[in-house]
Amino acid sequence: MENASSSQQAAQSETPSYFTQEQLSKLKSGGVENVQPLLQKKVKELGNTELNIAVTGETGAGKSSFINAMRGLRSEDEEAAAVGITETTMEPTGYPHPNLPNVRYWNLPGIGSPQFAAASYLREMKFKKYDFFIIVSAGRFRENDAKFAKEIRRLGKRCYFVRSKIDNDLYSMQLEGGGFDEVIELEKIRSDCVSKLGVAGIPDPNVFLISSFEKNMYDFPRFMEALADGLPSVKESVFILALPNYSVEIIRKKGEVLKRRIWNLAIISAGVGAIPVPGLSAACDMGILIGAIINFRKCLCLDDAALRRLAARKGKSMEELKAAAGSPMLGDITQHLIVRLRLGAALVAASTVESVLYFVPFIGSLFGAGSSFLMTYSILNDALNRLVGCAEKVLAVANGAE
């Protein structure tokens, strides 16, 4: 059982940082019957954690396009934020993430638009409800932007400046000729933004140059990292899971977040395994396994709805993307599939008897808490690793790689 013991130790070393010291003490000192209710409550909290992100700026700055990009949508998609040259947002409008509805981007009316003067803007937008603010500008940041940012900082909220449509600016510069150097021009634009905001009273502003249509270019990747780093640990995890799969790095970060949650589910499984009721452990564990794998697939944008959106955006078919993944785990998740794929088998090689009997009703439950913990952790860890690999393959084919 040496391998089994090392697997359990590895899982325990991944205890999520969002537990308080008091809760960690309880986890270490209490029996399974004491730990299980705490973890069930924590798992429920994670599922209900809300993240509200406010996006504001002057009319025509590209707020709607940015929100659509962050949600992995095109402007023509049914759930997309309306995009228009004139001001289309007359009141704060929330746009939920297509897979994680507790994550919501709020498109606020343009600062200084005729309908909302800067003097009353903060009050009317009820800005205390938002976790952080993103101020978008298609050109130079204005006085209204600086005033708004000062008030946000005064209230202890984080604020980020986004210089949008940077691809259009660079294209115009290229047409002008004269020894165009993209790196130099980007630094000039960034320095000008920082300097102007500094003069307006915003010291050391976070300025990012992005294009909503080129998510892997310019400052977009660095911007995503900055947003995640500025959040408490639980909300940081939620934000990472809500990101579209624009890069392999994002997919792997999602895998790290989901792997930390496996620990919770394995302990809950162990709590059920410790209850001496024949058949209960196998039945409940299977429910945990299937539910968790479906959730992993959703967070990794491998569910049918996400694949359909990606296929439309990239001019592919959903069948082509599924074929690239090359895994039956993108179909129906059933007990039969879990057994057939021998999920977790490599991680419990030293417990062959337990891994076989685990799925047999009236026998598997007799192995108790230790067996339930090990099997749940091993199967979910294996399933997650396979799904992360699937997501990377899908991304490569979507981006045109062979």
Bridge partners of residue 134, in order along the sequence: 55, 160
CATH class of the region 50-241: alpha beta
Q: How far apart are CA 150 and CA 144, in angstroms?
A: 10
Burial profile 1-11: b = 16 or more Cβ within 10 angstroms, e = fewer: eeebeebbeeb
- Sorted by where each begins, the domain ranges of the chain are 2-30+246-398, 50-241
pLDDT of res. 270: 60
The dihedrals phi and psi of 385, each to the nearest 5 degrees, come to -60, -40
pLDDT of res. 212: 87
| Residue appearing with tokens 């007990």 | 335
pLDDT of res. 152: 82
pLDDT of res. 304: 93
- How far is CA 161 from each of CA 28, 63, 137, 204, 349, rounded to the nearest angstrom? 44, 12, 8, 11, 52
Q: How far apart are CA 75 and CA 68, in angstroms?
A: 7
Under DSSP, the state recorded for 398 is: H
CB 115 within 8 A of CB 168: no
CB 369 within 8 A of CB 228: no
pLDDT of res. 122: 64
How many CA atoms within 13 Å lie on the side-chain side of 21?
0
Global pTM reads 0.77
| Full DSSP string of 304-352 | HHHHHHHHHHHT--HHHHHHHHT-GGGS---HHHHHHTTTTGGGGGGGH
Virtual CA dihedral for 391, 393, 395, 400, nearest 10 degrees? -170
pLDDT of res. 251: 95
Q: How far apart are CA 75 and CA 77, in angstroms?
A: 6
| Full DSSP string of 138-198 | SSS--HHHHHHHHHHHHTT-EEEEEE--HHHHHHHHHHH-SS--HHHHHHHHHHHHHHHHH
Instruction: Write the burial class of residue 159 (CB in 10 Å: 0-12 exposed, 13-18 middle, 19+ buried).
Output: buried
Q: How far apart are CA 235 and CA 254, in angstroms?
A: 13
How confident is the chain (402 residues) per 10-residue block, as mean pLDDT? Answer: 42 44 50 53 66 86 89 85 66 86 86 59 73 89 83 84 90 77 88 89 89 87 90 88 91 92 73 48 65 91 92 88 91 84 62 42 39 76 93 91 52
